[in-house]
Chain A
């Protein structure tokens, strides 16, 4: 008897393959089943969606119809109210216009009054300004006059004292010059006199007179105790 190629390894492999095949088949069936259930569920949802859509459209049309009716009603009511409002508005507008006109008139009157007052005030102010300005100008002129007078007096005094000083200085200068000149003249007179005396007496003075003068000089020196 031939030996079958059945050992433990092969046998385990075969068993494993069979188990895997079985598991695969089982999973395939489960998936198939789930897909069919999903399709059924989707179909149900689709149908319900369509139904809801139809109902919604129907209700929308109803609402639109009602809304159109309500709109027509509102428009009709609005026109009546609008005419009422227009009347009311024109009435109030005319009242407001009248009030405004009165206010404007009053304001105009007040403005005129204000302008008149302003004119009066301005005239008074102008008059006061004129008086004040005149007073200031007069005061200014008085001040200028006084200052000018003082300045002129001071200038006159300064000029006078300056001239006096100059005159004094000039007089002193002249006096000094005069004195110097006189001194010079005096010196010249003496020099001239000495020279004349020297010339004249040198020739004319006798020996006896010369000796007398020399003796006189010696006597004077003795009296003065010049020679001790």
Chain B
């Protein structure tokens, strides 16, 4: 098995229940920290403090996942994973609220299913002016699908109705 394929497999396992870019980067950091602690001991666990969720995630990774790492390849694989992030299909999504992990998982799984892209990663950003719904950026192109855009699109109709009401 080549190193690249192995890196991809590891990344796919991580991406299975990781939907956002922030969360992916965070999980890679805690994974790195955990692996370095496992292989080289002591000091690395001082740099990161794991939450219950982090520990839970590390604990429930597939059985054969950790077998892919050893003292000799751990740095190489981790570097390959970090580089692999930039090659992932990333959809920037503007939301009006900050989603928790559960909500993020729901949005991410629906997005992957909708666009039929199992490794789609979301870059979550906040824009309260959207009112509700979402705006998307794909390969540098912005498109607004929020309630604000709907209001803007039906502006004349709304104003007409409003004027009727005023009369």
- Please list the residues of chain A having a beta carbon within 8 angstroms of any beta carbon in chain B: 186, 189-190, 193-194, 197-198, 201-202, 205, 207, 209-211, 213-222, 224, 226-227
Bound form: Cα–Cα A110–B159 in Å: 111
Please give, as numbers and ranges, the residues of chain A lying within 8 Å of B141 by CB-CB distance. 226
A194 and B136 contact, CB distance less than 8 A: no
Please give, as numbers and ranges, the residues of chain A lying within 8 Å of B152 by CB-CB distance. 190
**27 A-B pairs whose Cβ atoms sit less than 8 Å apart in the complex:** A186-B155, A189-B158, A190-B151, A190-B152, A190-B158, A197-B131, A197-B147, A198-B128, A205-B132, A210-B96, A210-B97, A210-B132, A211-B107, A213-B133, A213-B146, A213-B147, A214-B93, A214-B95, A214-B110, A214-B133, A217-B136, A217-B146, A218-B111, A218-B136, A221-B114, A221-B143, A227-B91
Bound form: Cα–Cα A189–B152 in Å: 11
**What total of A-B pairs shows CB separation below 8 Å?**
90
Contact of B134 among A194, A197, A198, A214 (CB under 8 A): A214
Contact of B114 among A186, A211, A222 (CB under 8 A): A222
Instruction: Digitize B153-167: 1 where CB-to-A-CB distance is under 8 Å, 0 elsewhere.
Output: 001001100100000
Bound form: Cα–Cα A207–B106 in Å: 12
Please give, as numbers and ranges, the residues of chain B lying within 8 Å of A198 by CB-CB distance. 96, 128-129, 131
Please give, as numbers and ranges, the residues of chain B lying within 8 Å of A202 by CB-CB distance. 96-97, 128, 131-132
Minimum distance in angstroms from A182 CB to a CB of chain B: 9
B145 within 8 A of A: yes
A216-B145 contact in complex given A193-B151, A197-B131, A227-B115, C-beta closer than 8 Å:
yes
Bound form: Cα–Cα A207–B107 in Å: 12
| Contact residues on B (Cβ < 8 Å of other chain), bracket | 20 to 34
Q: A186-B155, A202-B97, A224-B143 are in contact. List 8 more A-B contacts (CB 8 A).
A: A189-B159, A214-B93, A214-B133, A216-B145, A217-B145, A219-B114, A221-B115, A221-B136
Minimum distance in angstroms from A184 CB to a CB of chain B: 12
A211 and B151 contact, CB distance less than 8 A: no
Most buried by B among A197, A215, A222: A215
User: Which chain A residue lies CB-closest to B120?
Assistant: A227
Please give, as numbers and ranges, the residues of chain A lying within 8 Å of B96 by CB-CB distance. 198, 202, 210
Bound form: Cα–Cα A75–B128 in Å: 165
Top 6 nearest A-B pairs (CB, nearest first) are A217-B145, A213-B133, A217-B134, A214-B134, A218-B114, A198-B131
Instruction: Digitize B117-137: 1 where CB-to-A-CB distance is under 8 Å, 0 elsewhere.
Output: 100000000001101111110
Minimum distance in angstroms from A172 CB to a CB of chain B: 23
Please give, as numbers and ranges, the residues of chain B lying within 8 Å of A205 by CB-CB distance. 132
Please give, as numbers and ranges, the residues of chain B lying within 8 Å of A189 by CB-CB distance. 158-159, 162
A214 and B107 contact, CB distance less than 8 A: yes
B75 within 8 A of A: no
Please give, as numbers and ranges, the residues of chain A lying within 8 Å of B159 by CB-CB distance. 186, 189-190
B27 within 8 A of A: no
User: Which chain A residue lies CB-closest to B107?
Assistant: A214
Please give, as numbers and ranges, the residues of chain A lying within 8 Å of B147 by CB-CB distance. 197, 201, 213
B66 within 8 A of A: no
B148 within 8 A of A: yes
B138 within 8 A of A: yes
Please give, as numbers and ranges, the residues of chain B lying within 8 Å of A211 by CB-CB distance. 103, 106-107
Bound form: Cα–Cα A7–B146 in Å: 194
Bound form: Cα–Cα A205–B146 in Å: 14
B158 and A193 contact, CB distance less than 8 A: yes
Minimum distance in angstroms from B59 CB to a CB of chain A: 28
